[in-house]
């Protein structure tokens, strides 16, 4: 399927979504968010998509934020609908059973930072810049930034970042926990694809269950979270993949995963 504002291709099981509005630094308008939602829906059902990488077109931006020109005329009702749509799509992306990776190649500001934080793994180029500058517009983050940022970097650092509206370079983002690694710009996408391909080669059911246990456990007390882990661990022993994986190990051969 062809899109207007994003590019999407699948190679060796790795889907790559590229935000493709370089003239406006890949800013998120309603259509771009809807097209992201369509790709997420495909990833939910297409077993040929075993990992998903997000990046931005051009050298300057991953996503430089929401489209301010489009937002400037919104009513309260329209703004709520805009935020609700983005929240729903990012929550669905976060809940995907496959790994999602943000390859942040430039500005990841406002909504762009929020999209990156909804991914499982975030890698940044040396040119990347992160920020939640909504306060400069008399606004606050509206796509989950107040919550995901707090969970990634802690409450006081999230307060500093959101209340000052400051941008943070890639090394600082790594230090804070926003990015896992900082790479030369020319190596970023290849590295992200390689990580995606590595994870896509693992048992699909184990990847999905591990993600669910980690994400659901993160908001629970440790006893509840450990019980979630115990139940998930035990349930996997009824799966074909666990039987295949353990058998392949004993027989000293590569496993053939079924995803069930």
Question: Out of 9, 114, 229, 251, which one is annotated catalytic?
Answer: 114
Q: 204-250 adopts what CATH topology?
A: Lyase 2-enoyl-coa Hydratase; Chain  A, domain 2 (1.10.12)
Contact of 180 with 174, CB cutoff 8 Å = yes
pLDDT at 183: 98
Active site residue 134: yes
Q: Tell me, what DSSP letter sits at residue 66?
A: B
Three-state DSSP class for 226? helix
| Cα 123 to Cα 116: distance, rounded to the nearest angstrom | 9
> 98: which 2 tokens?
């496959």
Q: 6-200 adopts what CATH topology?
A: 2-enoyl-CoA Hydratase; Chain A, domain 1 (3.90.226)
Q: Angle at the Cα of 135 (from 132 to 137), degrees rounded to 5?
A: 110
pLDDT at 14: 98
Q: Cα 202 from chain centroid?
A: 19
pLDDT at 77: 97
Residues 6+ apart with CB under 8 A from 50: 13, 14, 98, 200, 204
Model pTM score = 0.96
| Cα 50 to Cα 97: distance, rounded to the nearest angstrom | 9
Closest C-alpha among 26, 30, 19, 24 to residue 70:
30
Active site residue 216: no
Question: Out of 134, 175, 187, 244, which one is annotated catalytic?
Answer: 134
pLDDT at 54: 98
Average pLDDT, the chain: 97
**Do 6-200 and 204-250 share a fold?**
no
pLDDT at 70: 87
| Cα 113 to Cα 108: distance, rounded to the nearest angstrom | 5
pLDDT at 170: 98
pLDDT at 184: 98
pLDDT at 36: 98
Q: Which residues in the chain come in under a pLDDT of 70? A: none
The backbone torsions φ and ψ at residue 115, rounded to the nearest 5 degrees and listed phi first, read -65, -45
**How do residues 114-166 score in pLDDT, each as one tens digit?**
999 999 999 999 999 999 999 999 999 999 999 999 999 999 999 999 999 99
Q: Which residues pair with 11 in a beta bridge?
A: 14
Where in the chain are the domains? Answer: 6-200, 204-250
């Amino acid at each position: 399927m062809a899109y207007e504002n994003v590019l999407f291709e699948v190679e060796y099981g790795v889907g790559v979504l590229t935000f493709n509005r370089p003239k406006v630094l890949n800013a998120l308008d309603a259509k771009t968010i809807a097209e992201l939602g369509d790709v997420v829906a495909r990833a939910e059902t297409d077993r040929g998509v075993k990992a998903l990488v997000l990046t931005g077109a051009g050298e300057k931006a991953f996503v430089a934020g929401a489209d301010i020109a489009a937002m400037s005329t919104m009513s309260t009702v329209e703004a709520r609908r805009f935020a609700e749509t983005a929240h729903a799509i990012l929550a669905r992306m976060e809940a995907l059973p496959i790994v999602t990776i943000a390859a942040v190649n430039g500005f990841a500001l406002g909504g762009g930072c929020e999209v990156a934080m909804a991914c499982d793994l975030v890698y940044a180029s040396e040119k990347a810049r992160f920020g939640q500058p909504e306060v400069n517009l008399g606004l606050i983050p509206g796509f989950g930034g107040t919550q995901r940022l707090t969970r990634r970097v802690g409450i006081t650092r999230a307060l500093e970042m959101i209340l000052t509206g400051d941008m943070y370079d890639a090394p600082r983002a790594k230090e804070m926990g926003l990015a896992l690694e900082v790479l030369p710009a020319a190596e970023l996408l290849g590295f992200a694809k390689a990580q995606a391909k590595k994870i896509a080669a693992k048992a699909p059911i184990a990847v999905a269950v591990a993600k669910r246990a980690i994400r659901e456990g993160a908001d629970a007390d440790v006893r509840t979270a450990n019980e979630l882990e115990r139940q998930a661990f035990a349930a996997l022993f009824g799966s074909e993949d666990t039987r295949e994986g353990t058998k392949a190990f004993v027989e000293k051969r590569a496993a053939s995963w079924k995803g069930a």
